[in-house]
Chain A
Amino acid sequence: MGKHMKKGGEYMDKKDLKKILAGISVAGLLTGASIGCTPQQPQQPAPPGKETQKEAPAQTQEPQAPAKEAPAPSS
């Protein structure tokens, strides 16, 4: 294992991942000028029989129960 599939029928390894990352700029990613990716796309649900799953939203987004970690209030 450890080999990653690559466009054109070959395998992609870690070096290829680095190559893709090196080929794009931080500024390009932040302005949406990069290639082959989407602005923000929800993860796909699991295909039947495969161990893939959606996940709960990140804590940074909208905590459902903010009180749980909020300290005592002032009065």
Chain B
Amino acid sequence: MRTFQAEEHTELYTACRSIAGPELWDSLIRGRKLSADSEPLVRDLIQAGGQGIPKFLPDLARLESTIEDVRRSGVTIPEVTSEICLNPTVRLLDLSWKNLLPLLTQDSTETYADPAPGRELVLIWNDPIGKRVKYRAVSQNDLLALKITDEHISPESAAKEGNVSVGMIDNIIDEAVHEGILLSPPSKLIRDQSIFPLNDYVDKSFLSSHSFTLQWHITQACDLHCRHCYDRSARSPMSLAQGIRILDDVRMFCRNRHVMKAVSFTGGNPFLYPHFPELYRAASERGFSIGILGNPTEREKIESLIAIQKPTHFQVSLEGLREQNDYIRGEGHFDRVMEFLKVLRELDIFSMVMLTLTKNNMQEVIPLAEVLNEHADRFHFNRLSMVGEGANLMLPEKGEYIAFLDSYEKAVQKYPVLGLKDNMLSVLSYRKGLEPFGGCTTFGCGAAFNFLAVLSDGEVHACRKFPSPVGNILQQSISEIYDSPQAQRYREGCRACHTCKLHAVCGGCLAVAHSLGLNIFEERDPFCFLND
């Protein structure tokens, strides 16, 4: 039997001692042999009830003792598991008093319900990530996650039994994994370390993605006709049934690869896809995080989507201040976007503005940031890809672009709305001795790594910004496409970057290299200035 030192004993029962009063508490434990087994003490506390101690004190002692026991337990949490399983440190403490947990915090700024007789199950566990003990009154979702996992019930079966969507079950499991109540195998979306080298600047967090995003261009139809549009080709939209099959397929892909699943609906204008509300609902019912990349639209349409599931973000585009933007995107567009940003803010939706950087609008980025700072949550840019009608516009010269990046990086301090995205900002960060931020997709160029782009006719591309076909999702599974040699090739990036220490947080932009006629699998982004 393990014993504690006396001072540890006092520390262990901090709340009990505080509530009973130090004098009474010390008299109750005087002469007691201190032990990890709190039950003898609990029995004595029950017997001492006549001395004026609260009736809930025995249960509070159990609670404090068990938390300490979990903290000190030598139970090993496996670093790697082959399937989702229970955290072996999880304990379920069955109390006959409710509302005891707030007594442990002694937080006088909060108001809590008083302890009351009644059953309460408390979940206590060692968090494998934070390496700390956590506890809370067990929720129905906690119990469901524990039950499904412990009894090997499939999410589909659980959903059927409870008459709920499978996405709801997925999310409950994901949440329990996130909390550390359940353990999940590691993500299978991992970089090849032989060409994404670890070093003193890039750590292993940049080599493994915990999420996968499907960028889904569900329609080619668009109410705008931008001068830099990448693709105005006619592509037939898929049926709703085909779309739902894709969602099922991607859900299973993410489940098998042990990553969170996200979909970004875009187009064209996704609201012009005739089955958009139904497809959106189907994504929600399958547990996807949902983002929208689109054009300003009616408030009512956004509200109807929120009623299904609030989008994680809504991204619109601006190409400069009013005159420059409207030249690219059409008369009145700038004002419509500014009005729409107000709607997004009123609806508490994270708003993002994207700018396609050209030679002609580069000098308007920071003035636009000043305008957007009070109206949007995030503003960032991507360099022009000179494909489709975008071939009629021009990229900046390398020298002026580098000078722009320098001013942009300084402006980030002044305008919090400015985000870091373009991979050349990774180069700048490194040269300035700043921490890596992850570049375009958190993993540098994420083409065919943590995202794939699907077009309305099922064609799948490594990146939407340039022709990079890797398959067709109406004819192949997403798993087959992801594992194909074609996708692998884009995922590896250009050979010239393979030995670069920034590869995992940069990789340049394949679309820009393509725009300038380079061999994207061999030659690096011509704007790279790492070794200049």
Residues of A within 8 A of B (CB): 1-2, 4-7, 9-12, 16-18, 20-22, 24-27, 29-32, 34-53, 55, 58-60, 62-75
Contact = CB atoms under 8 A, between A and B. Distances in A.
A37 to B, nearest CB: 5
Contacts of A16: 92
Nearest to B127: A55
Interface residues of B, number: 113
B164 interface: yes
15 contacts: A1-B73, A5-B66, A17-B150, A26-B144, A27-B161, A35-B119, A47-B104, A48-B14, A53-B130, A53-B132, A55-B179, A69-B442, A71-B213, A73-B266, A74-B464
B298 interface: no
B315 A73 contact: yes
A67 B67 contact: no
A21 B147 contact: yes
A31 to B, nearest CB: 7
Given A37-B139, A41-B139, A30 B134 contact: no
A48 to B, nearest CB: 6
A72 B380 CA distance: 11
B427 to A, nearest CB: 18
A16 to B, nearest CB: 8
Q: Which of A27, A32, A49, A69 has the most CB of B within 10 A?
A: A69
B486 interface: no
B143 A29 contact: yes
B43 interface: yes
Interface stretch (B170-178, B238-246, B469-477): B170-178
A36 B133 contact: no
A69 B147 contact: no
Interface in B444-462: 446-447, 450-451, 453
A75 to B, nearest CB: 5
A17 B293 contact: no
A53 B315 CA distance: 34
Q: Which 7 A-B pairs have the closest CB atoms?
A: A30-B162, A47-B104, A7-B94, A66-B313, A71-B451, A36-B121, A43-B136
Nearest to B146: A21
Interface of B: 11, 14-15, 38-39, 42-43, 62, 65-69, 71, 73-75, 90-96, 101-102, 104-107, 119-121, 127, 130, 132-144, 146-148, 150-151, 153, 158, 161-164, 171, 174-175, 178-179, 209-211, 213, 215, 217, 226, 228-231, 260, 262, 264, 266-268, 287, 289, 291, 293, 310, 312-313, 315, 317, 350, 352, 354, 356, 378, 380, 382, 390, 419, 421, 438, 440-442, 446-447, 450-451, 453, 463-465, 511
A69 B161 contact: no
Q: Which of B119, B140, B179, B289 has the most CB of A within 10 A?
A: B140
Given A34-B143, A73-B315, A44 B162 contact: no
A71 B463 contact: yes
B147 A71 contact: no
Contact of A9 (B42, B127, B390): B42
A63 B378 CA distance: 13
Contacts of B105: 44-47
Contact of A68 (B91, B102, B179, B442): B442
Contact of B352 (A12, A59, A66): A66
Contacts of B67: 47, 50, 52
Contact of A75 (B65, B90, B130, B229): B229
A38 B501 CA distance: 49
A24 B143 contact: yes
Contact of B107 (A7, A29, A45, A52): A45
Contact of A29 (B147, B267, B352): B147
A47 B419 CA distance: 37
Contact of B106 (A5, A32, A35, A48): A48
Contact of A67 (B143, B158, B210, B419): B419
Q: Which of A10, A37, A51, A64 has the most CB of B within 10 A?
A: A37
Given A71-B463, A75-B356, A55 B140 contact: no
Nearest to A49: B11
A66 B130 CA distance: 23
A68 to B, nearest CB: 5
B144 A30 contact: yes
A58 B178 contact: yes
B210 A59 contact: yes
Nearest to B352: A67
A25 B153 CA distance: 11
A20 B226 contact: no
A58 B69 CA distance: 27
A21 B531 CA distance: 60
A71 B140 contact: no
Contacts of B132: 51-53
Given A67-B313, A73-B315, A27 B137 contact: no
A55 B464 contact: no
Contacts of A65: 378, 419
Given A52-B133, A74-B464, A18 B150 contact: yes
